[in-house]
Amino acid sequence: MNFKKNYILLFLLIACLSCKKSEVKAIQAQIIPAPNSLKLLKGQFLLSSETHLIYDEELEPVVAYWKSLVTSVFGLNTGKSNIIRFVFDDAIQNPEAYRLNVKPEEITINASSSKGAFYAVQTLIQLLPPEFANGSLNTDGIYIQNLKIEDEPRFSYRGMHLDVARHMYPIDFIKKHIDMLAMLKMNTFHWHLTEDQGWRIEIKKYPKLQEIAAYRDETLIGHYSDQPHQFDGKKYGGYYTQDEVKEVVAYAQERFVTVIPEIEMPGHSQAAIAAYPQLGCTGEQVEVATKWGVFEDIYCAKDETFDFLEDVLDEVLELFPSKYIHIGGDEAPKTRWKTCDNCQARIKSEGLKDEHELQNYFITRMEKYLNSKGRQIIGWDEILEGGLAPNATVMSWRGTEGAVEAAKSGHNVIMTPTSHCYLDYYQSDTDDEPLAIGGYLPLEKVYSFNPIPEELNEEEAQYVLGSQGNIWTEYMPTEAQVEYMAYPRILAIAEVNWTKSENKNYENFVTRVENFHRRLDVLNINYANHLYEIEGGMTSENGRSFYELTTLTKGKDIRYTLDGTEPTLNSEVYTSQIPITESVKIKAAVFNSEKQLGKTFTQTINYHKAVGAKITIDKEPHKSYPGSGAEGLINGISGSDTRYGDKEWLGFWGDDIEITIDLGKEKKIKSVETIFYNANGQWIYIPDGVQIGFLNSKNEIVFPFVEQLFEPITRNTWGINFDYDEWFITRYIVFKIRNYGVIPEGKQGAGNKAWTFIDEIIVN
Ligand code: ACM
Ligand code: ZN
């Protein structure tokens, strides 16, 4: 026996037993969504393998979830040094509410259901370093700041939607998404499973849904508005097997997330009709759609279709225990129904007025079927067409009017207006954003959303169950791109739904989002970071104009130049508004003491003759698209020509408008130009016509009204220029703008009023 060797081994053993891994310091409470009451207290709790668990049986599932997390960090839980106590407390009214008390010797969680306790645990996880959640932390103990939280959600429906038809993602990604919903205390996953471009759920009775409807021949390249359309020539598709669906539903259930499937009807059903042409009105073969949009081949309202849909739903109901089943209902053109013998016979035999009432018949008949199976339907707000099915819940997406109408008639509503909840819209107006469908919905606008429409009184507001972010995936071919569009805006959706208005604060939220980046990094999430971007704005006072620069996060410098050069660490630090007295190009960026953090912001200011003048519009812009008010039309700044939702564009829904600019005194001018947005997929049309006229100080016409008429275009914008050969004197400039009118059949949004979007009016 070699004494020396054993001695060394013994020494190593002792050294190792005493080599404590370091303990982790308490982190600042930075919880998203913000708890409704949080008090920080003195002292800390040390979470370690010595922490003992005591719990009431009712909360056992959550204790098991917590135990598995702790075990993966510290090994087996054996000790008795301090306690985490899970208390079943049926005095707590709301099953989703919880109390969390962190004291030096004990953490107490009170809840009246596992769901509430689960949310307490999610809060606790956010009080720990990000590495705790994925088990990658290597430590003996973690300190937690003492505090007291009393928390409950503002709304009972806190949802996220995902379209897996335009593009499809693996089951593991769906689970990762559900994990994040759970972390953010969201309780509903709306799984959009069928579309014109693909059918994604296995239905055993109809094998052609798997063979044919699940695959499209190819996919549109680039943006829909890029003409002519080009295709990639690659077959695309797939579907989730029923076993996979079961796995997702069970996974979600363990995380207190309800999965609501959406089976679209009567529209957005071209893939199913491609598989079974007899489900359409014409019986003709169609293809699974290869581009985006609204398609005229919808389900025929004949018995065979209803039999098919009932069979499909029978299998769907077996897989999804959710109380609600989403039946779509949106964007169903009535073209085929108008000329179909079967549909017309149905209209007659049921005593219906027209095809809109046939839509109502369709939805109501399917509702009856689902009600008979103990389920309730949700439909997009088009289900209000021709009357509302008796027990339906309305998902309001075309603004909030549908929600108001439904709530006033005693129906539940879920708010998902495009203006605040469509996460497929651009989140930044910088030029290098990845291709998106259009629009502009920055983080702050999502955060500002109040799901209760102003038009509802307190009693009617009870019908608003909550809101939901929607992720339509036409332009999201990869998981990374879905995450880029979802984060960080999903954090805002979570807080909109959970945190009461009086406890919300955007500045504070942004600080938490910045801090949350590290958590998202650890969880391997491809979030967008626009926090270090700069916002600029013109202000005018007594005819003098100034430019203001702001950025979201604290403790950093904005540096800028006015000569068109790139800002550097040596450039001037912005401290107060920059006076503007001539046309100029401002470049600015956010810096810390070492380097530039975000992208360079560039603003060209065109100091034309109307900048700082008085302007009035006879209508208010729509509250979802106020731009920077009427003054924004003469602030020397032109908005993006790819994002109509920015601060420069004003949106009007269906109104004719009259704009008057008062130059303050008579001035010599020669030309006036302005610009309108055109995005027919988003229901935005250039005006039917625009008139312009000029008046002097005595209100006498100095130049009679001239008119420029609508011309069909496919580009994003329509600029008009009234350019005169001679200089002339005027004080007032009057624009009369005629809205396009009602959107014609066959176009997206057919039958709805068109929007008018206008930007800078440039006077020279
Ligand atoms: C929708 O965006 N078509 C509901
Ligand atoms: Zn028909």
Contact yes or no for 742/751 (Cβ under 8 A): yes
563-615 tens-digit pLDDT: 999 999 999 999 999 999 999 999 999 999 999 998 899 999 999 999 989 99
Please tell me the predicted confidence (pLDDT) of residue 612: 86
Report whether residue 688 contacts ligand 1, using a CB cutoff of 6 Å: no
Give me Rg for the CA atoms of the chain. Answer: 30
Owner of token pair 């998981």: 479
Please tell me the predicted confidence (pLDDT) of residue 23: 84
Please tell me the predicted confidence (pLDDT) of residue 534: 92
Residue 120 tokens read as 């307490």
Give me ligand 2 centre to Cα 186, in Å: 40
How many angstroms separate the CA atoms of 16 and 12, rounded? 6
Query: Cβ-count burial of 344 within 10 angstroms (0-12 exposed, 13-18 middle, 19+ buried)?
Result: middle
Catalytic pick among 96, 131, 195, 331: 331
Residue 85 tokens read as 């106590």
Give the number of whichever ligand sits closest to the CA of residue 297: 2
Q: How many CB atoms lie within 10 A of CB 433?
A: 17
Give the number of whichever ligand sits closest to the CA of residue 262: 1
Residues 6+ apart with CB under 8 A from 482: 162, 169, 173, 177, 471, 473, 476
Q: How many CB atoms lie within 10 A of CB 123?
A: 21
Task: Give Cα 658 distance to the centre of its chain.
Answer: 33
Report whether residue 262 contacts ligand 1, using a CB cutoff of 6 Å: no
424-439 tens-digit pLDDT: 999 998 878 999 998 8
How many angstroms separate the CA atoms of 344 and 352, rounded? 9
Residues 6+ apart with CB under 8 A from 627: 621, 633, 639, 646, 647, 648, 649, 650, 651, 759
Report whether residue 195 contacts ligand 1, using a CB cutoff of 6 Å: no
Please tell me the predicted confidence (pLDDT) of residue 78: 66
Average pLDDT value for residue range 314-337: 97
Please tell me the predicted confidence (pLDDT) of residue 10: 46
Nearest-5° angle of CA 177, CA 178, CA 180?
65
Substitution site in 419, 472, 474 for ligand 1 pocket (most atoms within 8 Å of beta carbon)? 472
Report whether residue 331 contacts ligand 1, using a CB cutoff of 6 Å: yes
- Minimal CA–CA distance to 107: which of 28, 52, 49? 52
Residues 6+ apart with CB under 8 A from 478: 167
21-42 tens-digit pLDDT: 678 888 888 999 999 999 999 9
Give me ligand 2 centre to Cα 281, in Å: 4
Nearest-5° angle of CA 494, CA 384, CA 284?
105
Substitution site in 262, 380, 414 for ligand 1 pocket (most atoms within 8 Å of beta carbon)? 380
Give me ligand 1 centre to Cα 330, in Å: 6
Report whether residue 311 contacts ligand 1, using a CB cutoff of 6 Å: no
Please tell me the predicted confidence (pLDDT) of residue 9: 45
358-407 tens-digit pLDDT: 999 999 999 999 999 999 999 999 999 888 999 999 999 999 999 999 99
Report whether residue 151 contacts ligand 1, using a CB cutoff of 6 Å: no
What is the identity of the amino acid at 530? H
Inter-axis angle of helices 489-498 and 506-522, nearest 10: 120
Closest-lying ligand 1 atom to the alpha carbon of residue 422? 2
Q: How far apart are the first and last CA of the chain?
A: 101
Closest-lying ligand 1 atom to the alpha carbon of residue 418? 2
Q: How many CB atoms lie within 10 A of CB 295?
A: 24
Give me ligand 1 centre to Cα 381, in Å: 9
Substitution site in 265, 330, 474 for ligand 1 pocket (most atoms within 8 Å of beta carbon)? 330
Give me ligand 2 centre to Cα 220, in Å: 29
Average pLDDT value for residue range 75-90: 84
Cα distances from 570 to residues 83, 526, 557, 561, 565, in angstroms, run: 55, 32, 11, 10, 12
Please tell me the predicted confidence (pLDDT) of residue 80: 74
How many angstroms separate the CA atoms of 540 and 100, rounded? 50
Please tell me the predicted confidence (pLDDT) of residue 4: 47
Closest-lying ligand 1 atom to the alpha carbon of residue 470? 2
Q: What pTM, to 2 d.p., does this model score?
A: 0.85
Please tell me the predicted confidence (pLDDT) of residue 17: 42
Q: Is 92 helix (H, G, I), strand (E, B) or coil?
A: coil
Closest-lying ligand 1 atom to the alpha carbon of residue 380? 4
Report whether residue 397 contacts ligand 1, using a CB cutoff of 6 Å: yes
Give me ligand 1 centre to Cα 374, in Å: 26
Give me ligand 2 centre to Cα 286, in Å: 15
47-64 tens-digit pLDDT: 998 899 999 999 999 999
Strands annotated E in 526-619: 534-541, 544-551, 557-561, 572-573, 578-580, 584-591, 601-605, 614-617
Give me ligand 2 centre to Cα 304, in Å: 11
DSSP symbol at 3: H
Contact yes or no for 378/260 (Cβ under 8 A): yes
How many angstroms separate the CA atoms of 43 and 34, rounded? 22
Give the number of whichever ligand sits closest to the CA of residue 304: 2
Please tell me the predicted confidence (pLDDT) of residue 72: 85
What is the identity of the amino acid at 105? E
Indicate the pLDDT class of residue 18, thresholds 50, 70 and 90.
very low
Instruction: Please say if the pLDDT value at position 329 is more than 60.
Output: yes
How many angstroms separate the CA atoms of 47 and 82, rounded? 8
Q: Is the dihedral of CA 338, 344, 347, 352 positive or negative?
A: positive
Any catalytic annotation for residue 541? no
Indicate the pLDDT class of residue 14, thresholds 50, 70 and 90.
very low
Higher-scoring residue by pLDDT: 476, 226: 476
How many angstroms separate the CA atoms of 382 and 196, rounded? 18
Give the number of whichever ligand sits closest to the CA of residue 280: 2
Residue 3: phi and psi, rounded to 5, are -60, -40
Helices (H), 373-435: 401-408, 418-421
Residue 135 tokens read as 């088990």
Instruction: Please say if the pLDDT value at position 76 is more than 70.
Output: no
For the chain, which domains are there? 20-151 (3.30.379.10), 159-522 (3.20.20.80), 534-605 (2.60.40), 614-763 (2.60.120.1190)
Inter-axis angle of helices 479-486 and 489-498, nearest 10: 50
Closest-lying ligand 1 atom to the alpha carbon of residue 397? 4
445-474 tens-digit pLDDT: 999 999 999 999 999 999 999 999 999 999
Report whether residue 380 contacts ligand 1, using a CB cutoff of 6 Å: yes
DSSP readout, 208-277?
A: HIIIIITEES--EES-TTSSS-EE----EE--B-HHHHHHHHHHHHHTT-EEEEEEEESSS-HHHHHH-G
Pick the residue whose CA is nearest to atom 2 on ligand 1: 397
DSSP readout, 131-158?
A: HHHTT----SEEEEEEEEEEE--S-SEE
Pick the residue whose CA is nearest to atom 3 on ligand 1: 330
Report whether residue 653 contacts ligand 1, using a CB cutoff of 6 Å: no
Average pLDDT value for residue range 327-348: 97
Owner of token pair 């010595």: 50
Instruction: Please say if the pLDDT value at position 542 is more than 90.
Output: no
Cα distances from 532 to residues 413, 482, 488, 596, in angstroms, run: 36, 21, 13, 9
Q: Is the peptide bond before 488 cis (omega within 30 degrees of 0)?
A: yes
Please tell me the predicted confidence (pLDDT) of residue 416: 98
Average pLDDT score over the chain: 93
149-200 tens-digit pLDDT: 999 999 999 999 999 999 999 999 999 999 999 999 999 999 999 999 999 9
Give the number of whichever ligand sits closest to the CA of residue 192: 1
207-241 tens-digit pLDDT: 999 999 999 999 999 999 887 899 999 999 999 99
- Minimal CA–CA distance to 263: which of 253, 271, 255? 271
Instruction: Please say if the pLDDT value at position 16 is more than 70.
Output: no
Of the candidate ranges 16-20, 126-130, 411-415, 685-689, the one whose mean pLDDT is the lowest: 16-20
Residue 41 tokens read as 């207290």
